[in-house]
Chains A and B, each alone.
Chain A
């Protein structure tokens, strides 16, 4: 079955630094979604990427969908304490959404 892998599992970042989290699928995806879950909260939809090679930006967050539609990345610049949480990617193949295990981000002030 479809598997979505995310790395790294944990990311400890100094405030102000940049980091990237990666998502890889074992199958070609029709689209990929990203969610953020704050500590103690529930996942919240951030963005969806559909086209091969698509790049979308939300302020300091840049999302990219690979050319082969099997991988994606989330890059955060100038990390802030508000970026703390777990970022999940979710790959869509057929009707099914498969979540990666998430990257949990902590920020050192």
Chain B
């Protein structure tokens, strides 16, 4: 059973460009979570999604950030007009249900130049 997959693993964007991060959950998991981690810091919750629904986006900045988890295909975290402060590791996790243990992907390391 393949684990959570994220791509790309590393992404370099110039200021003002768009970043698109993809996450394919584990087979059978319909709950997806996105976290941001700055160097030497903890995991900051961004958004929780189920198929076609955003359940909780309380951790996501209201501007420039959006997330989706369509009926078919991976979950996407989209950052428009990136700024240097967006440079971080973005982790996706999936679980079979809420409050279960979460399985993390390898992360996407975003660098904004």
- Cα(A95)–Cα(B45), bound, Å: 14
- Contact at A43–B101, with CB atoms within 8 Å? no
A85 close to B (CB within 8 Å): no
**CB-defined A-B contacts under 8 Å, sample of 30:** A30-B99, A31-B99, A33-B101, A33-B102, A41-B106, A42-B104, A42-B105, A42-B107, A43-B43, A43-B102, A44-B104, A45-B101, A45-B102, A45-B103, A48-B101, A88-B43, A94-B99, A95-B55, A95-B99, A96-B48, A96-B99, A97-B33, A97-B99, A97-B102, A99-B42, A99-B45, A101-B41, A101-B42, A102-B42, A104-B40
- Cα(A33)–Cα(B43), bound, Å: 14
- Cα(A108)–Cα(B105), bound, Å: 30
Contacts of A35 in B (CB 8 A): 104
How many residues of chain A are within 8 Å of chain B by beta carbon?
A: 24
Contacts of A94 in B (CB 8 A): 99
B34 close to A (CB within 8 Å): no
- Cα(A101)–Cα(B38), bound, Å: 11
Kindly list the 7 A-B residue pairs having the minimum CB-CB distance in the complex, ordered from nearest.
Answer: A95-B98, A101-B42, A45-B101, A42-B104, A99-B43, A92-B99, A102-B42
A98 close to B (CB within 8 Å): yes
Q: Which residues of B contact A (CB under 8 A)?
A: 33, 35, 40-43, 45, 48, 55-56, 91, 93, 98-99, 101-107
- Cα(A41)–Cα(B103), bound, Å: 13
- Contact at B99–A100, with CB atoms within 8 Å? no
- Contact at A96–B106, with CB atoms within 8 Å? no
Which residues of A72-109 are within 8 A (CB) of B?
86, 88, 90, 92, 94-102, 104
- Cα(A45)–Cα(B95), bound, Å: 11
- Cα(A94)–Cα(B48), bound, Å: 14
Contacts of B45 in A (CB 8 A): 97-99
- Cα(A95)–Cα(B41), bound, Å: 24
